[in-house]
Amino acid sequence: MSEDSYELKVVDVVEETADAHSISFEVPAGAEERFAYKPGQFLTLAVPSERTGVAARCYSLSSSPVGGGPLTITVKRTADGYASNWICDHVREGDSVRALPPSGIFTPASLSADLLLFAGGSGITPIISITRTALQQGTGRIVLFYANRDERSVIFAAELARLAAEHPERLVVVHWLESVQGLPSQEQLKAFASSFTSYDAFVCGPGPFMKMTTAALKELEFPRERRHQEKFVSLGGNPFGDLHDQEVAEHEIEDAERDQDEVVVDDAGAEPQGPVRLEVELDGQDYAFDDWAPGTKLLDHLESKGVKAPYSCREGECSACALRLLEGEVKMLHNDVLDEEDIAEGIRLGCQSVPVTDTVRVTYH
């Protein structure tokens, strides 16, 4: 078993809608610091699988890190989603589920910023966490556009109505129902967002919804630093490190819980001939090493030095290990989550990056 995984006891299960359940966990004693989280982050769960022993899946936290409530994820069934159906069918209060600590970068830099939030279906999960937390700890205005198939599909409908009533000067919630209005178009999304071009935008939902919303924001010239998109895919490897060898886990059930729109693999130049100098900014601390070996992944090198760098899947299939390149260049061996614009902005995946230049400087901020 991975030394970073924990058994979490299920303390509550709530049926939010006919096909969405919220599962609350008790954090083991002594692991509270490891499970401290930011709004918008996710948990990686180990779901039993007859084919591979374990299926690793990422689910966003719907709870808020303030207010003292339990650690909670919300899982919606998908038609062919093995893991989501297993969780909704089998997980009950009193059970235990193995999980990695919270991770992810889909979180506001400032909770007091004005926020423009777009959610489609189960994409409301990290969005409700951001909303709850910003209302408690921030001062900015929040506008939420929430698209669903019909009224019965709306997750957290009652709570969103309550929050909007309690914070009329700060929170506006706009529901878009396909059964009433049809699917939103890019032009409609653009028209909606045009009144909030100074806000920080966050988008989560099915792939086509995210792609269209992001395109609308680009048309309105939202700068990259104020456009955030959450992407998940099924994890091909086994980050829990047990039950089956890595090569067996690579044949993971291929049922992406959420679509993604683009896959780009970095194609940087040849590796350097000798040791590389690596400078890293992480959690307010600076690290410098002069012995990063060519061919060694950045995450592996940091772990060998005792640096607790963030990660989840280790396969280039989630954004948990994302960092920003400040100097030099790296090559990503695998990438299923960053698009061309992310790469152009200097974003890289630490778990898949090997050095290309003699000096590399990065930040996890």
Look at residue 95 and tell me whether its pLDDT is greater than 60.
yes
| CA angle, residues 16, 111, 311, in degrees to nearest 5 | 75
- State residue 58's pLDDT score: 87
Look at residue 261 and tell me whether its pLDDT is greater than 90.
no
- State residue 121's pLDDT score: 95
DSSP structure class, residue 258: S
Look at residue 264 and tell me whether its pLDDT is greater than 50.
no
Percentage, residues of the chain above pLDDT 90: 67
**What DSSP string runs through 127-177?**
HHHHHHHHHHH--S-EEEEEEESSGGG-TTHHHHHHHHHH-TTTEEEEEEE
- State residue 248's pLDDT score: 37
Query: pLDDT band for position 262 (50/70/90)?
Result: very low
Look at residue 266 and tell me whether its pLDDT is greater than 60.
no
Spatial neighbors of 166 by CB under 8 A, at least 6 apart, are none
Average pLDDT over residues 221-245: 68
Lowest mean pLDDT among 64-68, 236-240, 296-300: 236-240
Percentage, residues of the chain above pLDDT 70: 88
Average pLDDT over residues 327-333: 95
- Spell out the domains of the chain, with CATH numbers in brackets: 6-104 (2.40.30.10), 115-229 (3.40.50.80), 276-363 (3.10.20.30)
Lowest mean pLDDT among 49-53, 95-99, 266-270, 309-313: 266-270
Q: Are strands 200-204 and 227-229 parallel, antiparallel or unpaired?
A: parallel
Average pLDDT over residues 58-64: 94
Look at residue 256 and tell me whether its pLDDT is greater than 50.
no
Q: Name the residue among 160, 156, 204, 164 with its Cα closest to residue 14.
A: 156
Q: Residue 121 in contact with residue 258, Cβ under 8 Å?
A: no
* pTM, entire model: 0.78
Lowest mean pLDDT among 138-152, 195-209, 267-281: 267-281
Question: What's the chain's average pLDDT?
Answer: 87
- State residue 224's pLDDT score: 84
- State residue 251's pLDDT score: 38
Average pLDDT over residues 18-43: 95
Q: Residue 275 in contact with residue 292, Cβ under 8 Å?
A: yes
